[in-house]
Amino acid sequence: MNNPLQQYIDLYTGNPDMVQGNHGGALNQARDKALERLLEARRLPDRSDEGYAKTSVAEMFAPDYGINLQRHPVTVDLASSFHCGVPNLSTLMAVVAVDRFAPTRTLQQNLPQGVVVCSLAEGVRRYPGIADRYYNSLASRRGNAATDLNTLFTQDGVMIYVPDGVRLEKAIQIVQLFQGDSPRLAFRRILLVAGKDSRVAVLKCDHSHPDSADFLSSEVIEVIASEGSEVQFYDLEESAAATRRMSQMFARQDAGSKLTVAAATLFNGTTRNEFRIDCTGDHTATRLSGMAIGSRSQHIDNSSEVVHRGQHGHSDQLFKYVLDDEARGAFEGSIEVAEGSRFVEAYQSNRNVLASTGARMHTKPQLLIYNDDVKCSHGATTGQLDDRALFYMQTRGIPLDEARRMLMQAFMVDVVDTIALEPLRDRLRHMVERRFASADHLCDASCRQAE
């Protein structure tokens, strides 16, 4: 395989004006440093790199995808891309068609005063103080060549800013869609800044039409949880088998902040999710969870890193997988407690079920503790469905297939319960049930129809 990174470097150096366009400020200022780092790295991460034992980012980016550098209008049929709603969950919704931001009328009419939810390109122009301070501030420090490649080519995305003391009652929903008959690569970006003592919940849904071409999503999410803020971020993926996704989240928690992140991969092709959370302040609370349901030849990889730099912090990580057929899963997670970060409690658990002899799971939990006066634990288990439970259920008249589905659904309950938004939590239970009932059917998405 030729070096896939070089083709992107050549594309940028041959068309810098086209990529930069009229994007001033933070977007373009970050590109020079990203290019410099890419030239030093010379390649994207592959299976020879630490943390990438089962997923090669280089292979994901190797195909020749089309990139919308000239910012041509993108047409997406919302009705055919997602249908059903999340009952009783009223959201402020925006759509990202491939990599172009489009607010709905509901968002424009109901956004509270002072709250910003807009195109990243627009936000850089209208709110330079926010963009210059926060854009790429986390990703540039904690990222790698895949992050820098996203920074180099990002032309649009979503900016969310919640001022100090504002507590949003409605969740912000971002629906990201792929559709079309030609291969395409989208560089997506989300910047979420929660001010002091603010509260915000964000629901992001990734979808691609099952009859569409090959797609690749390169996504970088930056979350700043300021002092005393409460941030919830939920990420649901229901993509077609031909879709690949590389998603990287970087979060910073200031003193007294609470951060909840939950990711659910229900349908996909190849997915690599990375979570890097810095608990920089004292008395932070972090809950990170993920569920992955794989069948056929799906590949699902989650990597987490929670670093405690303050005192009296608390974090919980829980990731669960159910893999069937020839599906492949991977999880590598770590907890780091820095020197001087006393009285930290941090826990990590990865539990997996292999529902077939052909499914495979790779897991590697880690602890890095650099002081005493902490309570930390980690663990991982991988097994099969309980034969005794299956036998008992069959003796009570439950068919084998139904018994297997019931056990797999029950296995995911505690991950679903980490979701604080009750309507979304109830809807996700139903989505998980449908997923196990019809492994070959890309079920209706969890998004409300745009109004």
Three-state secondary structure call for residue 27:
helix
Mean pLDDT for the stretch of residues 122-146: 95
User: How far is the C-alpha of 49 from the C-alpha of 69, rounded, in Å?
Assistant: 30
User: How far is the C-alpha of 158 from the C-alpha of 203, rounded, in Å?
Assistant: 13
Q: According to the model, what pLDDT value does residue 8 have?
A: 95
- What percent of the chain has pLDDT above 90? 75
Strands 345-354 vs 314-323: parallel, antiparallel or unpaired: parallel
Mean pLDDT for the stretch of residues 138-154: 96
pLDDT tens by residue, 55-90: 999 999 999 898 888 777 766 555 444 544 455 577
Structure token pair of residue 62: 């190797």
Whether the per-residue pLDDT at 311 is higher than 90: the answer is: yes
Q: According to the model, what pLDDT value does residue 1 have?
A: 57
Q: According to the model, what pLDDT value does residue 316 have?
A: 97
Whether the per-residue pLDDT at 114 is higher than 80: the answer is: yes
Confidence of residue 196 (pLDDT cuts 50, 70, 90): very high
Confidence of residue 445 (pLDDT cuts 50, 70, 90): very low
Three-state secondary structure call for residue 319:
strand
Q: According to the model, what pLDDT value does residue 443 have?
A: 47
Mean pLDDT for the stretch of residues 230-241: 96
Q: According to the model, what pLDDT value does residue 444 have?
A: 45
Q: According to the model, what pLDDT value does residue 77 have?
A: 54
Q: Which helix (H) or strand (E) holds 285?
A: strand 285-294
pLDDT tens by residue, 327-344: 999 999 999 999 999 999
> How many H-runs (helices) and E-runs (strands) does the chain carry?
14, 19
Whether the per-residue pLDDT at 414 is higher than 60: the answer is: yes
To 5 degrees, how large is the angle CA 209–CA 260–CA 30?
A: 70
Q: According to the model, what pLDDT value does residue 440 have?
A: 55
Tell me the pLDDT of the chain averaged across its residues.
91
Lowest mean pLDDT among 293-302, 371-380, 440-449: 440-449
Whether the per-residue pLDDT at 209 is higher than 90: the answer is: no
CA 427 to chain centre: 19
* pTM of the predicted model as reported, rounded to 2 decimal places: 0.94
Among positive and negative, which fits the CA dihedral 319, 321, 327, 330?
Answer: positive
